[in-house]
């Protein structure tokens, strides 16, 4: 397998200027970033390939060597790769997106030597249907690690000072040569801090943090549905030694309603209606999210017909109006009849002695159809 030409990888000519190289790389990096192409290994390969090409072509010395001797001059083999963490100004190029995209994880190491950002946390929140319909506010009680009070987060016993790390001389990074490249690695002894704790704090055993319960108020927007996440910025785990904390993601699970079925912002409610009302027409009371409402059943309504009540569904979570409420009409067989009603029905039945029974065709069978289709749009 031969390595692709770096100019070809970035789609530029051999006399490309530094800004050309930078902009070509930026475009590719943004396009192929794994966060934008989850699970796409071809994109990830392209992303790494572009990073490697950029690492060489953006460096005047390396570019000169590459122009004269090709890949062989750099001592890179098809499998060796380049550690992009050695880039200077990597963040500048991606306009700060580097942080969002988490380059550290991608390359199996940290983007830069230094304290690590806090991890994101997930909290699964169950809410009842009505809270999703109206919106609500709830308080979560969560344990979180906070900076230790005794040592103010340093991890060193009060009064003592951390010593300089002997491994890296306080730089936090260890550098070594590999071919023409200088590789920088985070110091493993001090984990990039440059200092080591000589006398650990007793309260936190040198960790610099302690666990504490705290309360968080979460606003649940009306119209939220199961699986949607609310992001609480900075409420995740603390970062290492002063680095920014992660975020807390509240994943919402909405409970079922006894009779409203939900499909996006629309609702479906099945109501049995007395047979004579279906034949003769009339008005009935149906439940909505805001209490009962009277609707008109047109004369000759078939079982399974769906009547639409516009804007009586769930509110849209992004504030774009409301869904619709569909009322599906079924036959109420009137099992509890008065003596008088029973006599009337018998009288009616007698007049139907010659009624011919015909099976329904498959197409008109209401059970076969999926939810929310074939709506009889009377109120729309
Ligand atoms: Zn402490
Ligand atoms: Zn060190």
pTM of the shown model: 0.53
Phi-psi category of 76—alpha, beta or left, where left has phi over 0 and alpha has psi -120 to 50? beta
Task: Tell me, in angstroms, the distance from the centre of ligand 1 to residue 147's CA.
Answer: 8
Task: Tell me, in angstroms, the distance from the centre of ligand 1 to residue 151's CA.
Answer: 4
- Provide the sign of the torsion angle of the four alpha carbons 125, 131, 134, 135, taken in this order: negative
Q: Which ligand is located closest to the Cα atom of residue 169?
A: 2
Structural Rg of the chain based on CA atoms:
34
Task: Tell me, in angstroms, the distance from the centre of ligand 2 to residue 63's CA.
Answer: 32
pLDDT digits (tens, 9 = 90+) for 96-105: 333 333 333 3
Contact 251, 123 (CB under 8 A): yes
Say if 281 falls within a structural domain: yes
> Alpha-carbon distance 260 to 270, whole Å?
8
Same domain, 129 and 224: yes
Residue 379 pLDDT = 39
Same domain, 98 and 228: no
pLDDT digits (tens, 9 = 90+) for 198-247: 889 998 888 888 888 889 999 999 999 999 989 998 888 877 766 788 88
> Alpha-carbon distance 116 to 239, whole Å?
6
Of 77, 106, 135, the last residue of a domain is 106
> Alpha-carbon distance 283 to 92, whole Å?
67
Q: Which ligand is located closest to the Cα atom of residue 173?
A: 2
Same domain, 350 and 268: yes
Same domain, 126 and 101: no
> Alpha-carbon distance 308 to 120, whole Å?
43
Same domain, 231 and 360: no
Task: Tell me, in angstroms, the distance from the centre of ligand 1 to residue 260's CA.
Answer: 53
Residue 75 pLDDT = 64
Task: Tell me, in angstroms, the distance from the centre of ligand 1 to residue 120's CA.
Answer: 23
Say if 138 falls within a structural domain: yes
Residue 282 pLDDT = 94
Q: Which ligand is located closest to the Cα atom of residue 160?
A: 1
Task: Tell me, in angstroms, the distance from the centre of ligand 2 to residue 174's CA.
Answer: 8
Number of domains in the chain: 3
Same domain, 223 and 318: no
Of 106, 137, 156, the last residue of a domain is 106
Contact 266, 314 (CB under 8 A): yes
Range of the structural domain that residue 18 is part of? 6-106
Say if 268 falls within a structural domain: yes
Low-confidence ranges of the chain (pLDDT < 50): 76-113, 368, 370, 373-380
Of 202, 231, 256, the last residue of a domain is 256
Say if 92 falls within a structural domain: yes
Residue 87 pLDDT = 36
Say if 159 falls within a structural domain: no
Q: Report H helices in the chain.
A: 6-10, 18-32, 41-57, 60-69, 71-74, 90-93, 97-101, 103-106, 129-134, 275-280, 339-350
């Amino acid at each position: 397998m031969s390595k692709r030409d770096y100019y070809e990888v970035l789609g530029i000519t051999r006399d490309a200027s530094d800004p050309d190289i930078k902009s070509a790389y930026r475009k590719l990096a943004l396009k192929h970033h794994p966060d934008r192409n989850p699970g796409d290994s071809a994109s990830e390969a392209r992303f790494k390939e572009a990073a490697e090409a950029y690492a060489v072509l953006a460096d005047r010395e390396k570019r000169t060597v590459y122009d004269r001797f090709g890949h062989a001059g750099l001592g890179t083999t098809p499998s060796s790769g380049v550690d992009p963490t050695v880039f200077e100004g990597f963040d500048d190029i991606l306009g700060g997106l580097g942080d969002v995209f988490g380059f550290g994880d991608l390359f199996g190491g940290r983007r830069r030597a230094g304290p690590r950002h806090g991890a994101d946390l997930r909290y699964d929140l169950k809410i009842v249907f009505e809270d999703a319909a109206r919106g609500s506010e709830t308080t979560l009680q969560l344990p979180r690690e906070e900076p230790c009070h005794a040592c103010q987060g340093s991890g060193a016993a009060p009064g003592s000072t951390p010593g300089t790390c002997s491994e890296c001389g306080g730089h936090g990074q260890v550098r070594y040569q590999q071919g023409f490249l200088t590789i920088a690695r985070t110091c493993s002894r001090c984990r990039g801090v440059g200092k080591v704790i000589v006398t650990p704090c007793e309260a936190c055993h040198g960790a610099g943090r302690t666990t504490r319960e705290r309360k968080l108020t979460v606003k649940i927007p009306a119209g939220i549905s199961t699986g949607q996440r609310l992001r609480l910025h900075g409420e995740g785990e603390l970062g290492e030694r002063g680095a920014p904390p992660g975020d807390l993601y509240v994943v919402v699970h909405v409970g079922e309603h006894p009779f409203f079925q939900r499909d996006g912002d629309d609702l479906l409610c099945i109501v049995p209606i007395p047979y004579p009302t279906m034949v003769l027409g009339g008005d009935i009371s149906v439940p909505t999210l805001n209490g009962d409402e009277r609707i008109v059943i047109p004369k000759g309504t078939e079982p399974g017909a769906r009547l639409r009540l516009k804007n009586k569904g769930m509110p849209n979570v992004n504030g774009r109006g409301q869904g619709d409420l569909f009322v599906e009409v079924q036959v109420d067989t009137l099992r509890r009849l008065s003596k008088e009603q029973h006599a009337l029905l018998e009288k009616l039945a007698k007049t139907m002695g010659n009624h011919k029974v015909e099976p329904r065709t498959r197409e008109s069978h209401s059970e076969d159809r999926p939810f929310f289709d074939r709506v009889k749009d009377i109120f729309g």
